[in-house]
Chain A
Amino acid sequence: AQSVAQPEDQVNVAEGNPLTVKCTYSVSGNPYLFWYVQYPNRGLQFLLKYITGDNLVKGSYGFEAEFNKSQTSFHLKKPSALVSDSALYFCAVRGSDNFNKFYFGSGTKLNVKP
């Protein structure tokens, strides 16, 4: 079965500290992976994607993610968190049996404390 898992409902970090939001996926073949961010009462905004190439992908707002094929992971990272990074983060993978279908994780709420 194809799926995405975000094992942490919530991540708390202090401003200025590095942050990691975890994502693992289950899909056959080469995955197309995405991270999105959602602010309250808004739609999702694209942060970054991995399709092929370097395992370390850089995206918007200083975020980056590392693709690890052996661990089937695509963790989101940022070297120094900002209070304004506090939001809900979603990992997504494109289906391998149905390229039209994207599977989203249940989301991780990131809280950055001043």
Chain B
Amino acid sequence: GAGVSQSPSNKVTEKGKDVELRCDPISGHTALYWYRQSLGQGLEFLIYFQGNSAPDKSGLPSDRFSAERTGGSVSTLTIQRTQQEDSAVYLCASSLESNQPQHFGDGTRLSIL
């Protein structure tokens, strides 16, 4: 079956613009995570969705970051008024339940000029 799909794979934009990143999880996976991976760093937790529960937004670095998950499936991560420090690879992962292994997409490489 299909894995986790993320789009776009690459995004280059100017400082100050808004960007929207998309994640299509594995069908039936109720848990969905967003992470940020900066060069030479581990993964930084951003946000977690579980079914219809309120998302855990405790990892979002600023109020410029937001995410939605519509119908318990597709998720979008939005970064408003992008800054150069937002440049990173944004990874999405899904799992059957919160303590099961996560399946990762290939990420969106975001570059802010």
Contacts and interface: CB of A to CB of B under 8 A. Distances in A.
Interface in A1-41: 4, 32, 34, 36, 41
Given A43-B91, A106-B41, A101 B105 contact: no
B43 A104 contact: yes
Interface string A72-114: 0000000000000000001010100011111111110000000
Interface residues of A, number: 25
A101 B43 CA distance: 11
Contacts, number: 58
Interface residues of B, number: 25
A56 interface: no
Contact of B101 (A41, A46, A99): A46
Contacts of A102: 33, 43, 45, 102
B45 A101 contact: yes
Contacts of A98: 56, 58
B91 A44 contact: yes
A90 B56 contact: no
B68 interface: no
Given A43-B4, A98-B58, A104-B43, 8 more contacts: A43-B104, A44-B104, A45-B104, A46-B103, A90-B42, A100-B48, A100-B56, A107-B40
Interface of A: 4, 32, 34, 36, 41-46, 49, 51, 90, 92, 94, 98-107
19 contacts: A34-B101, A43-B107, A44-B91, A45-B104, A49-B101, A51-B99, A90-B42, A92-B43, A94-B99, A100-B98, A101-B56, A101-B58, A101-B59, A102-B33, A102-B45, A103-B42, A104-B43, A105-B42, A106-B40
